[in-house]
Amino acid sequence: MEINVNTIIKDNDPLVRQKSEPVTLPLSEEDKALLLDMLTYVKESKDEKLAEEKNLRPAVGIAAVQVGVLKQMIAVDCEIGYDENDKPIVATYALVNPKIISASAKQAYLKYGEGCLSAEVDHSGFVPRSLRVKVEAYDLLQDKTITIRAEGYLAIVLQHEIDHFSGIMFYDRINQLAPDAKIPGAIMIE
């Protein structure tokens, strides 16, 4: 499936508010192909030349509902730090049926707020999330069920994408009365 700015479902489409269904394992060839296409989008969207050529918006994650498929599948490719040689450490997953099995009470939020491929309008404000999450899922790239212990940025990305399964957009979580008010006790992530 070709995925680009024009094929991504926008937040004014009622589909983004619908619930996504669990996916039967083993994966069908169709589901595998879709999930790999989603991951390709995320990876290619970070390359300025490819992004311009293919009409892609930069992303670190995407959920299947955003391409019109109500299935619990997400693709994630994001930098989570640097190794001792200052090379980026990248977390890359093609997840099926990811579930948050535990989350810290300690909260975190991104300094510059969150964005979404489905949201064409900017929604400023802080989005409270758990600082740490433990996620269980089948990962197509490893071809097995895995447990991800994520903290900080990766934890926020996973929570954002998994929210899509319930029809929740990131801006639903912003305090509408005080969108830019610091979240007491939470860690701000730059």
Residues tagged active-site: 161
- Put the strands of the sheet holding 129-130 in their side by side order: 129-130, 107-110, 187-189
Q: Which residues of 130-150 are buried (b: 16+ CB within 10 A; e: fewer)?
A: bbbbbbebbbbeeeeeeebeb
Among candidates 119, 166, 158, which has minimal Cα distance to 5? 119
Residues 137 and 139: their CA atoms lie apart, in Å, by 6
- Put the strands of the sheet holding 88-103 in their side by side order: 61-63, 73-82, 88-103, 132-139, 144-151
Is-contact 62 77, C-beta < 8 A? no
Radius of gyration of the chain (CA): 16
The number of CA neighbours under 13 Å toward the Cβ of 66 is: 31
Q: SS3 breakdown of the chain: % helix, strand, coil, rounded to 5? A: 25, 30, 45
